[in-house]
Amino acid sequence: MNETASAPACVGIIMDGNRRWAKERGLPKMDGHAAGLEKAKEIIRHAFTQDVGTVVLYAFSTENWNRTPEEVGYLMELFGGALMRDLDELAREGIRVRFVGDLARLPEKLYVSAKELEEGSASATSGKTLAVALSYGGRAEILAAVNRLLAEGKQEIKEEDMNAALWSVGMQDPDLIIRTGGEKRLSGFLPWQSVYSELFFTDTLWPAFTKEEFDTILAEFAQRERRRGK
């Protein structure tokens, strides 16, 4: 029997278009990243009011480490400052915060803050979770999981073994993935977890994305039939 979707329990968002948004306005690209952070704060809170249980934000990919030292440094400062303050506020409100990625590559101060925030919010009681994909790459995650299982002596790897070895262990697979900015690809975002995700692509640049557009996507999602291969 086909399953008609209702509100997605887990929504993944690829927040693309910060630099182009700034360029269109004659602003430094760093201003685009700052605007993108403000938009993330708005959409996270709105999503939780729409019965979304988990939001997964693609904040910084493993490939993003190849950007200029100036841009990477700015982003790390942004994550370590404003982002962590905002995430700490969410945690105090009872929302679980977790990070998914190769966190060992982060600056030490940011790494320590991320781990402390994860541990401190692990017992959150709201039933809501914000997961931040930080220093994340889908291939890197799968390779890390396989190598971990091989090191444990696994001779045959089953699906449940992979699920337990991934950086995202315990996180619900996304029912819905939204990508802003006009590109129609996932760019390494949760390839293992997204095999049955509904995909939505919008030309809207991330800082210009609105709560109304988010709601429109949710409404369309609710009309889709999710067969899951049946």
Q: Which residues are catalytic?
A: 16, 64
Rounded Cα gap, residues 148 and 165, in angstroms: 7
Say how far apart CA 168 and CA 173 lie, in whole Å: 9
DSSP string for residues in 111-167: HHHHHHHHHHHTT--SS-EEEEEEEE-HHHHHHHHHHHHHHTT-SS--HHHHHHHST
Nearest to 10 by CA among 53, 42, 41: 53
Q: Report yes or no: 52 and 10 within 8 Å, Cβ to Cβ.
A: yes
Phi, psi of 19 (to 5 degrees): -70, -40
Quick one: tokens of 107?
Answer: 């600056």
Amino acid, res. 6: S
Cα separation, 110 vs 76, whole angstroms: 8
